[in-house]
Amino acid sequence: MPEDLPQDRRLRASWLASSVGEALDEDLGAEPGRDVTTLATIPASTVVSGQIVVREAGVIAGIPVIAETLQQVAERLNLHSPTVHLLAADGDRLEAGAPVADISGAGHVVLIAERTILNFLSRASGIATHTRRWADALEGTGARVLDTRKTTPGLRELEKYAVRAGGGTNKRFGLFDCAMVKDNHIVAAGSVAAAIHAIRSAYPDVPIQVEVESAAQAHEAIDAGARFLMLDNMPPAQMRDLVRAVREREPDVRLEATGGLSVSNAREVAETGVDFMSVGALTHSSPILDIALDLS
């Protein structure tokens, strides 16, 4: 299952290079690309020093973006890449005002790279901070918080990385690595069992997860060979009864709560005995963390 994969994976270097390049293209415009304010007001020989700091308490994530962005801007300008001294690591909890990194180098490079760096860092750190609240709420229960595919197009790699940095667990990365049978698939296939059998026939090596809304659907899925059930929008009492029934029948079946979840009811739901809780809001509704670059 995807959630069994190592949860300390780094950002993919190819994604990092490509995404930073696209972000810079977006900011600087068509070739050769330019920052009209910086290039007009600051001499090319100017050297600056500054510090990236968090303006509010939170969990930092996305630090590899700093060096990558500076390097790419430097290459575009045919200048040396600024020196970066990291003062924090992804996953660290930082208080307001805490430093993330010291930067020193060509002013053109630093100021052109500034907003791209902060956009990525702020987004990733907001997700990591939100995820950390969930991980803290579930601590000691045995349940883990999972992310979903409700991500910003083009930023899934970063956003799922941020979930990991915040203490959460990645579920499937896309439509290719895990079959997830939901209500519309059940309707289209004719039944839970029919959907499971069709996937087994077409893609025998792909793990299957099934969303169920009742005990009857849960037992039908288990009869068809499912070993991962998503209990959709169930009140805690109903969920607790179903978890108990499934555990008595098939102890190895994994159970996930989904829908209607919040940090305030996280422990109550976890105490029903589920293994996981999937929370789309980790990636689709996390506010950014306020981060800035201050020149000295």
Q: Which residues are catalytic?
A: 115, 150, 182, 211, 232
Question: From CA 34, how far away is CA 202, in angstroms rounded?
Answer: 51
Q: What tokens appear for 134 in the block?
A: 């969930």
Q: What secondary structure letter does DSSP report for 80? A: P
Q: Who contacts 15 (Cβ-Cβ below 8 Å, separation ≥6)?
A: 157, 158
Cα–Cα distance list, 21 to 17, 80, 93, 153, 227 (Å): 6, 17, 29, 16, 42
**Residue with token string 């308490």:** 57
Backbone angles phi, psi at 139, to 5 degrees: -55, 130
Q: Is the dihedral of CA 44, 82, 73, 62 positive or negative?
A: negative
CA-based max dimension of the chain: 73
